[in-house]
Amino acid sequence: MIMTTDKKTVIIKGISTSPGIAYGIARVIYRWEQSIEERTIEDSQIENEMSQLDTAVEKTLKELSKCQKTADAKIGGPVAKIFDSQVLIASDTAFLNKVKDEIKKTHKSAAYIYSMQVENNMLPLQRSRDPYMRQMVTDIEAVSHRVLRYLTGQSESEFSQFSKDCIFVGRLFTPAEILNLFERDARAIVTAEGSPNSHMALIARSLIIPTVTGVRQVHMKIRSGDRLIVDGEKGQITINPPEDEWNQIRKKGAELKELPITQLKKLSDFPRKTKDKVEINVAANINIPGPIDKILSAHNIGVGLYRTEFLYLQQGHFPSEDEQFEVYDSVAKQYYPRELVIRTFDLGSDKFLKDQNAVQENNPALGWRGIRASLGNPRIFRDQIRAILRVSNRGNVKILLPMITDLPELNRALGQIKRSMVELRKNKIQFNSKIEIGIMIEVPSAAIMADMLASKVNFFSIGSNDLTQYTLATDRDNQKLIGLFNSFHPSVLSLIKNSIAAAHKHNIPVTLCGEMAGNPLTIPLLIGFGIDQLSMNPSQLNQASEIIAKIEIEAARLLADDIMKLANVKDVEKRLTEFNLSLIAGE
């Protein structure tokens, strides 16, 4: 295909949904909603219409069953259960009986009545502020589209008409379509709607497909054939980049052209060593189970941050202790003997659903979230802690508490953990009573009093993304503040360095698990600070391992000393870039 190069370059921002960088040619999927004709039927046709409805539902259920099997094979674990909700919607007997009653009563076609009943059911859900209700709308739309397709004889939308290795753009994609796109080797996905917590997003993250959502009318702004660079980490899309930028990224083609999963399969075993043969502990941040687990464990890579929010987001309620135990135990077994650091639920008022007594907050990031929400729901918190403790006998599991701000808060959380231990002992359930417990250092108050907090726990994990946000009072998702959110800020670096020093004073290790951990510019600096572990998104592991192999420890320490003398972001970035270029030149 001949590409024109005189198109105007446009950069648009969306929501970072699944990290990774990809480039390719856009393929835009349009969905023009077909209105269902209001058709009157005779008495003699009623039974036939209801029979057609039953057949359409039966075929839909077969399709969904196939999707379930594909998801289980490609992803496995609890993520594949996302399709369970669509099966329940499709087989809702009460709803189907109501549709049949209306067919008899109004003498209208099955397609028309079904579509009207779906629309009536979705209306209150669409108005809801509840994220789970809005997710239900997406699931209902996905199911009803299948049923109506059979009732009206519409052809199925085919992705096979597009070549492989494309970046797919659309209003929204269903979980089944994401699986289809994965089969088509989609390099990235961009949507106008959706959120990082949608079922679509969970599937995309599990399959490690770079994804940006929430780009308003993006399917109207991008045309098939446009050149795109998608940065899933920043939530940024560059449309028709300048020729020099396009050629530059194509030089990395061998690396970026491969799907992230393919790249990861080529990883060297870990831990990695610096140029002067010092081992650097590198681990992965895992958002959701998937094929990535098998690849990472095969390369001796542990999990420095295992996020558990997906267990709640995929089904709209908190799973039971036993349900959580099954998930954690499976993951711990997969990674053994490498460590598995399980972070307790880091959910806030922006994610809590209808079964919680949450209130609307103007700024959820500063509200009832993280450990605050867990302590506010002690039964749910202890369910999770008991599930983790039951897995701890495997010997590679640790507990990580999010958003700790002070000692009283930490003591309350530790008290709940001790109570959970007592409950397990009463039931004669074995666990590791010496399980290591750590805290996230992600708010300035925790970083400032790190010396006192370090005496109470077994390890620190620095969340540089939130620490930057809170230190600089800058919402990282606010497009108007993009230039202000910068982890190179001297104040942020000072808090990180001091937190590491405080931890080492008490002989406990420190992990950094934010974006800085996988950034080639900051990896040498963090090593110079004395960081014990870098935990990053799996898509960053290849590049990080290459950088680590070029670093000498003493040079990294001198770099850290230089950086701490600088007073502004530009000077810090300039010095880090110079050091990075010197590493490349020294190859």
The model's pLDDT over 370-416, given as tens digits with 9 standing for 90+, comes to 899 999 999 999 999 999 999 999 999 999 999 999 999 999 999 99
Helix H segments across 266-406? 292-298, 310-313, 321-335, 370-376, 378-391
Helix H segments across 128-232? 131-152, 175-183, 199-206, 218-221
The Cα-based distances of 27 to 5, 161, 162, 168, 267 in angstroms read 17, 10, 7, 5, 30
Q: Report the pLDDT value the prediction gives residue 355, as an integer from 0 to 100.
A: 46
In order, the DSSP letters of 18-59 are E--EEEEEEEEEP--PPPPP--B--GGGHHHHHHHHHHHHHH
Flag residues of the chain having pLDDT under 50. 1-5, 349, 353-356
Q: Report the pLDDT value the prediction gives residue 82, as an integer from 0 to 100.
A: 75
The closest of 307, 317, 395 to 343, measured between CA atoms, is: 307
Give the active site residues: 199, 513
Whether residue 437 contacts residue 398, with contact meaning beta carbons closer than 8 Å, is answered with yes
What is the C-alpha to C-alpha distance for residues 208 and 97, in angstroms, rounded to an integer?
41
Nearest-5° angle of CA 328, CA 331, CA 333? 105
What is the C-alpha to C-alpha distance for residues 154 and 134, in angstroms, rounded to an integer?
26
Tens of pLDDT, residue by residue over 522-541, are 999 999 999 999 999 888 88
The secondary element (H helix, E strand) that includes residue 529 is helix 523-529
**Residue 567 backbone phi and psi in degrees, to 5:** -110, -5
- CATH class name, domain 10-31+158-260: alpha beta
What is the C-alpha to C-alpha distance for residues 157 and 161, in angstroms, rounded to an integer?
9
Topology of domain 455-587, per CATH? TIM Barrel (3.20.20)
For residue 576 the two structure tokens come to 């880090």
Q: How many other CB atoms are found less than 10 A from the CB of residue 246?
A: 17
What is the torsional sign of CA 270, 274, 279, 282? Answer: negative
Burial of 171 (0-12, 13-18, 19+ CB in 10 A): middle
Instruction: Give, to the nearest 10 degrees, the angle between helix 131-152 and helix 46-74.
Output: 120
Nearest-5° angle of CA 465, CA 462, CA 446? 100
Burial of 426 (0-12, 13-18, 19+ CB in 10 A): exposed
Q: Report the pLDDT value the prediction gives residue 31, as an integer from 0 to 100.
A: 66
Cis peptide leading into residue 78 (ω within 30°): no
**CA torsion angle for 321, 357, 439, 296 (degrees, to 10)?**
50
- Homologous superfamily in CATH for domain 43-152: PtsI, HPr-binding domain (1.10.274.10)
Instruction: Give, to the nearest 10 degrees, the angle between helix 93-106 and helix 46-74.
Output: 160
The closest of 17, 22, 1 to 186, measured between CA atoms, is: 22
Per domain, the residue ranges of the chain are 10-31+158-260, 43-152, 455-587
What is the C-alpha to C-alpha distance for residues 455 and 435, in angstroms, rounded to an integer?
16
Mean pLDDT of the chain: 86
